[in-house]
Chain A
């Protein structure tokens, strides 16, 4: 875990009024943590990485009554005992970084379970303010919570809030500035556990009195009895084995006496403590009250209706994305075309102009053109998540996912993958089990992303009848899904064997999200997509441009240049209305494109394509396709424009029928080759940005390397089989 700042013992640094107060937000998932964070920090946040359930920390800035505040959003957790990375990170931050205030956000309509984490926070002695969020939902459910009494009993300030609307925000910040004291509660764990705690504390003090553990001795002892792996490790490093032996002895005794282990007893006592609190503080109606959520669920997860409704939701999401996204897409395409034309006409013909027009505008523009689609997809997904429906989707799909060795939660990243793999891979953070996560990450690229669609559209449109083209493209998507299912199963069974995570997932109450929160979630992901465009793709586009532009000389270049110059001068000498002028200018254009094509063939990229020809021939390709695929390695969006260049079509014309006709004229291209090429694009190595994301999320080079390897083998093998098989049956 990276240390954020080097903070020394004590926090007197923040007592100086010019030093920003550090406020951490901790709490259960679904308690409104992210909403609160966004409401507090607005646009002033460093969303360094993927939102949703983050493992990385989100930080933001805020000013209140003249004081600067740094807000840190900790991962949502149900507990502070080391179970998954989220718990460890949240706990480590509070204990090691010592924030000035910890705002513990709890869902008032779900108080009992939320307080489980609160109790642990308070035991740790953190300076806590309880943000009693969603009191509107609690009131709607008929709950009356005496927040002052709750505060008195726990010894912390309690602020009722509705983070979504901003109610309670000011009161919360006022309390923050007042700097709550370190909490101090003592949960009575019962005679036997308390005796064990006592014994362990005494043993620790005797063994190494000067030891400085991050958690205080009582909490350390409690966590040891809970078999917390991180605390165990710390204790092992700081003390002799004796301590753990004592712990083990007491645990055995407790288990013999009570029939259940110490951990269970501790949990039980905590909930007992919480029950007591609840009795004093909450007046509730009879538990049988059917909530709105229950009534909606009765329809949405009904045995008969649940699946059809789910498929409809998925279909509607994609339909929305494609139909609503089309007009702005064309508009952006035209904009970039115009921009390219503008630069072409203003700047003199030079390398600089070429870089700007081809690499920057062409490459980056190709990615941005998809932004409307991506935005809409992310909007739809954010909407589904914020209302709470996504959890139901995971609930419904879990059986299928489980059979594939995946997890109900794997479904969402795979869905996002149809838009773009980069945010999809980041969305796998919701998966707690690392193996589930890696398998999901490995198969996500097989969910054919939005960038490959232009390639499919071009090829299907060129070689298949309009009626059939749609089905052809659909078959490609389907094949991707089938391979993903098969490989997920295979990888999970053979490669990443191991314990499946328990699928114990909360189904949050349905909520009406605010437009603001949905837009924020949507924008966070879209921003990542744009960043990818601005950085990796721009960089790769330039490298690729260089590979395709240099060396600039090729045999016969001078001759062509002379011919162009001559034709140009002759055309200019003729009258404007002379038909020969038009013909000559057309010839100039033709020669220009021919020159570009020749130059490409002799460039480094072209030479690589030729070098690869031996392995491309068996699957029906030649070196021309090879160049396009090399370009596709950088970013799939670039394949179509590169093919345009190869076939001497101008940048502006790739959308029109010209490229399609040029492809058909190429003797190696027939419907079979086109289909095989589509298959190849589907199955081949994902783009650089995706590999970079895999590297980031798995924190190693193994998995991106494996991805590269398996995709290459898969693509080549499948294409070989299909192409050769197709030839055999005479396609």
Chain B
């Protein structure tokens, strides 16, 4: 079974999935804020849930919970494992 990773942006990661930050494609205040909160390349992130009204999203990083808007999360490039322990299906072949 291949263990391919997929590159995407944080706002597209579905709840319950883990990913690793690869790059922050924005400058200025948002970048600094993200970095200060530990959202730096190499950090592990778990997307916990989406708010009842659809935005923002709640993630877990370095052991604490963070709330971030999808429009800001779009700048965070992450690498997500395609095969996730929870949705492994039995091999049909």
Contact = CB atoms under 8 A, between A and B. Distances in A.
Contact of B32 (A83, A116, A398): A83
Contacts of B40: 264, 267-268, 271
B34 interface: yes
Interface string A501-529: 11111111100000000000000000000
Nearest to B56: A398
Which of B28, B36, B72 gathers the greatest number of chain A CB atoms within 10 Å?
A: B36
B64 A113 contact: yes
Interface string B39-76: 11111000011111111101000111111110010000
Contacts of B63: 109-113, 287
B24 interface: yes
B7 interface: no
A56 to B, nearest CB: 23
Contacts of B12: none
A395 B58 contact: yes
B5 interface: no
Contact of B51 (A259, A294, A395, A501): A395
B17 interface: no
Given A301-B49, A501-B29, A504-B33, A395 B38 contact: no
Contacts of A287: 63
A395 B56 contact: yes
A394 B58 CA distance: 12
Contact of B56 (A113, A501, A503): A503
A508 B38 CA distance: 15
A283 to B, nearest CB: 14
Given A395-B51, A395-B67, A112 B29 contact: no
A507 B41 CA distance: 22
Nearest to A293: B65
Given A399-B51, A399-B55, A116 B64 contact: no
Interface string A109-126: 111110010000000000
Q: How large is the interface on A (under 10, 10 to 19, 20 to 34, 35 or more residues)?
A: 35 or more
Contacts of B36: 78-79, 81, 83, 116, 267
A83 B29 contact: yes
Contact of B37 (A293, A297, A504): A504
Interface string A41-83: 0000000000000000000000000000000000000110101
A304 interface: yes
B28 to A, nearest CB: 8
A109 B64 CA distance: 9
B38 A112 contact: yes
A19 interface: no
A507 B48 CA distance: 12
A111 B32 CA distance: 20
A263 B56 contact: no
Main secondary structure of the interface of B (DSSP, over half): mixed
Given A81-B36, A395-B67, A271 B43 contact: yes
A269 to B, nearest CB: 10
Which of A81, A110, A505 gathers the greatest number of chain B CB atoms within 10 Å?
A: A505
Contact of B23 (A110, A260, A391): A260
Nearest to A288: B46
Contact of A402 (B32, B42, B55, B66): B55
Which of A302, A391, A408, A508 gathers the greatest number of chain B CB atoms within 10 Å?
A: A408
Given A503-B72, A505-B66, A505-B67, A306 B37 contact: no
A638 B64 CA distance: 49
A504 B72 contact: yes
Interface residues of B, number: 37
Given A264-B40, A268-B42, A402-B69, A303 B35 contact: no
A260 B30 CA distance: 16
A662 interface: no
Given A398-B56, A399-B54, A503-B72, A267 B64 contact: no
Nearest to A305: B52
A307 interface: yes
A400 interface: yes
A501 B40 CA distance: 19
Contact of B53 (A294, A391, A400, A506): A400
A507 B58 contact: yes
Contacts of A110: 62-64
A408 B69 CA distance: 10
Contacts of B49: 297, 301, 303
Given A78-B36, A504-B33, A504-B72, A112 B62 contact: yes
Given A271-B38, A395-B58, A507 B24 contact: no
A81 B62 CA distance: 20
Interface in A282-332: 287, 293-294, 297, 301-304, 306-307
A391 B35 contact: no
A400 B51 CA distance: 11
Contacts of B28: 499
A306 to B, nearest CB: 4
A306 B55 CA distance: 13
A7 B28 CA distance: 35
Given A268-B41, A398-B51, A391 B67 contact: yes
A166 B5 CA distance: 48
Contacts of A391: 67
A396 interface: yes
Given A113-B62, A302-B52, A398 B67 contact: yes
Interface string A365-395: 0000000000000000000000000010011
A499 B29 contact: yes
Contacts of B68: 502-505
Interface of A: 78-79, 81, 83, 109-113, 116, 259-260, 263-264, 267-268, 271, 287, 293-294, 297, 301-304, 306-307, 391, 394-396, 398-400, 402, 408, 499, 501-509
15 contacts: A112-B63, A116-B38, A263-B35, A264-B35, A264-B41, A271-B40, A271-B42, A297-B58, A301-B58, A303-B49, A303-B50, A395-B51, A400-B53, A504-B30, A504-B34
Closest 3 CB pairs between A and B?
A306-B52, A399-B53, A507-B65
Given A113-B37, A502-B30, 17 more contacts: A109-B63, A113-B62, A113-B63, A264-B35, A267-B35, A267-B36, A267-B40, A301-B52, A304-B52, A396-B51, A396-B52, A398-B51, A502-B34, A504-B39, A504-B67, A506-B67, A508-B65
